[in-house]
């Protein structure tokens, strides 16, 4: 008889447990939003957005971040927003995750929920400019989304409005031999929606420009001492440098192919490739906030002999990027933009 009474009891326990699990998430979100409301009374802040743990570790390893004593972080939608100060400036830091969807989502969340003045986006990137080297830091003046493709039928023609064409058959080795059913790709323009434009009307856009005032500030914050060695036995052949004002490209593609690297450089005249910057820049500009991108070059995007260098020099590139970020923050005026 006792066994017959166990099943209803277990059912009640399971129902109660499910109710607790379902109701816990809204309560956690409500708690986080209440904390954000209190934090915003102390604002505004500078938003810092990086991508992967290597970059996050390098930034915090500098020891320049001072966490807020009362609310050191807020967890929201699976991301941890860290609150603190850098060189006396109030900042909110988040690691967005790889790719354009993560970058855009984290940026919009930052802008919607927190009282921020603008966004500093930073991380590592592939180098596609032979005049630059691994370990260098680039602060681009404009970024293109080079992942919007018209991948055409082999007999198809590229739309006249496309900004570039990649004829895959041109990269056959030996050139021109055999059939190539991949055909060619047309690179489309981005659709850019902005608070300054007409509602629900997109502008055609190729290059999203970072904020000129912040770019000018980055050009004038003095000498930056960058690291040349990962350790005593692994060093770069030359001293890394900071370069301001070049071009960058973003797509949901990790570029490790010499031919595609050369195509991007020759066609778009870019110097770095990554998977997030254009999303952060476009989201910030759409909402009317200043934004700057700081990227350390960790590899040659396929130009190297052998294994990609990101495994060897990714941590060094991340550290040099963090140093540039700290230098930029140090020179930011203490008022809103």
How do residues 199-228 score in pLDDT, each as one tens digit?
999 999 999 999 999 999 999 877 889 999
pLDDT at 337 exceeding the cut of 90: no
pLDDT at 8 exceeding the cut of 70: no
Q: Is 205 helix (H, G, I), strand (E, B) or coil?
A: strand
- Per DSSP, helices labelled H in 71-187 are 100-113
Q: Where are the domains of the chain?
A: 42-148+189-331, 151-188
Q: What is the pLDDT of residue 86?
A: 97
Q: What is the pLDDT of residue 291?
A: 98
* Contact assessment for residue 126 and residue 299, using Cβ atoms and an 8 Å cutoff: yes
For residues 20-33, average pLDDT: 69
pLDDT at 163 exceeding the cut of 70: yes
pLDDT band at 168 (very low <50, low <70, confident <90, very high): confident
Q: Which residues pair with 210 in a beta bridge?
A: none
CA 205 to each of CA 56, 143, 150, 188, 303: distance values in angstroms, whole numbers, following the listed order: 31, 11, 16, 9, 29
pLDDT at 12 exceeding the cut of 80: no
DSSP for 75-108 reads: EETTEEEEEEEETTEEEEEEE--SSHHHHHHHHH
The half-sphere exposure of 278 on its side-chain side, counting CA atoms within 13 A, is 28
Q: What is the pLDDT of residue 17?
A: 53
Least trusted range by pLDDT, from 7-11, 42-46, 106-110, 255-259: 7-11
CA distance 246 to 51: 21
The half-sphere exposure of 137 on its side-chain side, counting CA atoms within 13 A, is 28
- Per DSSP, helices labelled H in the chain are 2-40, 53-61, 100-113, 212-219, 258-268, 277-286, 310-331
> Which string of b and e fits 200-221 if b means at least 16 CB within 10 Å?
eeeeebbbbebbeebbebbeeb
Q: Looking up tokens 């990790």, which residue turns up?
A: 254
* Percent above pLDDT 90 for the chain: 75
Q: What is the pLDDT of residue 177?
A: 64
Q: What is the pLDDT of residue 194?
A: 92
DSSP for 131-164 reads: TS-TT-EEE-SEEEETT-EEE--TT----TT-SE
Task: Specify the pTM.
Answer: 0.89
CATH number of the domain located at residue range(s) 42-148+189-331 in this protein: 3.40.50.1580
For residues 76-86, average pLDDT: 96
Q: Looking up tokens 């927190």, which residue turns up?
A: 114
């Amino acid at each position: 008889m006792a066994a017959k009474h166990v099943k209803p009891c277990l059912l009640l326990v399971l129902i109660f447990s499910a109710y607790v699990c379902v109701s816990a998430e809204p309560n956690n979100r409500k708690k986080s939003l209440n904390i954000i409301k209190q934090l915003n009374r102390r604002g505004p802040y500078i938003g810092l957005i990086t991508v992967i743990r290597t970059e996050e570790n390098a930034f915090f390893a500098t020891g320049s971040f001072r966490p807020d004593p009362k609310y050191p972080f807020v967890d929201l939608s699976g991301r941890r927003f860290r609150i603190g100060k850098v060189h006396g400036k109030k900042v909110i830091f988040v690691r967005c995750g790889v790719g354009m969807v993560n970058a855009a989502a984290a940026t919009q969340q930052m802008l919607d929920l927190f009282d921020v003045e603008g966004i500093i986006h930073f991380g590592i990137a592939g180098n596609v400019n032979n005049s630059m080297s691994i370990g260098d830091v680039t602060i681009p003046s404009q970024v293109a989304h080079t992942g919007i493709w018209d991948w055409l039928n082999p007999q198809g023609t590229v739309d006249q409005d496309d900004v570039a064409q990649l004829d895959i058959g041109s990269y056959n080795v030996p050139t021109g031999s055999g059939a190539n059913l991949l055909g060619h790709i047309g690179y489309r323009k981005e659709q850019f929606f902005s608070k300054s434009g007409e509602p629900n009307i997109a502008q055609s856009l190729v290059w999203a420009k970072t904020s000129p005032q912040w770019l000018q500030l980055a050009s004038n914050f003095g000498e930056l001492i960058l690291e040349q060695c990962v350790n005593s036995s692994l060093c770069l052949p030359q001293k890394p440098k900071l370069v301001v004002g070049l071009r960058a490209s973003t797509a949901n593609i990790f570029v490790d192919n010499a031919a595609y690297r050369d195509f991007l450089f020759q066609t778009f005249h870019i110097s770095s490739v990554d998977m997030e910057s254009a999303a952060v820049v476009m989201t910030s500009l759409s909402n009317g906030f200043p934004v700057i991108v700081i990227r350390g070059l960790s590899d040659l995007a396929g130009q190297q002999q052998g294994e990609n260098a990101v495994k060897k020099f990714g941590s060094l590139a991340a550290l040099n990027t963090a140093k540039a970020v700290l230098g930029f923050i140090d020179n930011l005026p203490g008022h809103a933009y």
